[in-house]
Structure 1
């Protein structure tokens, strides 16, 4: 970043001579709790052709299960923060007992920072692995266009929502969708849980009601019913634009998945403003 710090020796296994100098757009040093990292921002078109699976999937993310698809399959929520909370609280107590400005306090703060860093990395790797699996198994993925900033205003659920890392999962879905030429569609979340996936009738439910029961005879798990509605809305958004025949899409974000409720091919250029690409060089 033009800081003029001089020449550095890079420790690692990556061969930077594989890339042309003009492909390296930015180099910066990033400080983490366990050390410094050199981060390279590269301009690389990653387009991998895969065989179509002729499958579609609708995903409803949640807190009890990380996601539920339209077939009723669930992926358990790992709850990394909840599992590591006991250790973090213990390290926080140890930090508060150390004298300010002392070396022992610095060491205690370092241990606490590493514990938080580990949880963050666990979330990232889990989201990446699950998103990759979903993209590899399907040609079209529909999911809710959730506004996490609004959801965490509920202080009773804020910690659990942040621990679930839904936005990070969505970001990886969109990245792998671009990389492998798959279609990812964000649909409006309104009434996906309330409407019946069989007849469309609205059946009011509280958050504690986990089973959808409709007068038409449809009885489903609440999340499975929502996933079916999400997939139906995603398919209606894609229309007849060629769900399984799209060309691979630029991995830098010029072309990508669709915006909420818009026609697939008419506006794919603009999602970069809604969901910026996550840096993959950490």
Structure 2
């Protein structure tokens, strides 16, 4: 016949096993939820259901590799060297990695700095610091972390933005000349009914009149109340027959006429790959 002490020991063992089982279920559930979120983030649209609403949008998409290449790409990853220019004329180098999800309007930025690793995420207009500091010390006050993420995401995924159902676009009929190049300004605004914090910053895309690429944009930086000019250079295919993206990105302050002034950030990407 078991003693009272034996019964208490068995009860404690059962309680421990039950707690461990509940914790295991909770952990598995969290992992499953995280995996599901990643799958949703990376999910591209079905090319058969995609409708391009305007000729200029179709031209921009075609110039950057074509609709088929874009709809087959669920994720892009870049390894880049980032030059942060300082007010005294010096500069600071940072190596950063970008994971870009064009069809969820999302980017994740990771940087290993002397003060530790920082990971930021901008997803559907929501900016989060996933690890470390929310700002690199050497990053100019004119380019807060969120604004840098907005700049990179918009210039890299400009063709996909024209298929964003939450935004509307209006292109001017006449071209404007900006620093020797002719562009058609395309204004982007969020459609009414989209809640604050669920959309990206207002932006003006500039479509190159010669090649139809969107290689210049102005994006509003809500933290500073000013706009930044973002330029893409040296467009290249991520892979043979794939989409085209800028391998160099530069961020500037802007003047009142749409021109670029002081260079704040230069990004040179030396490795890029796409996931389908």
Please, what TM-score do these two structures have when normalized by structure 1? 0.25
More helix by share: 1
Please, what TM-score do these two structures have when normalized by structure 2? 0.25
Q: Which has the higher contact order (CA 8 A, sep 6+)?
A: 1
| Largest Rg, 1 or 2 | 2
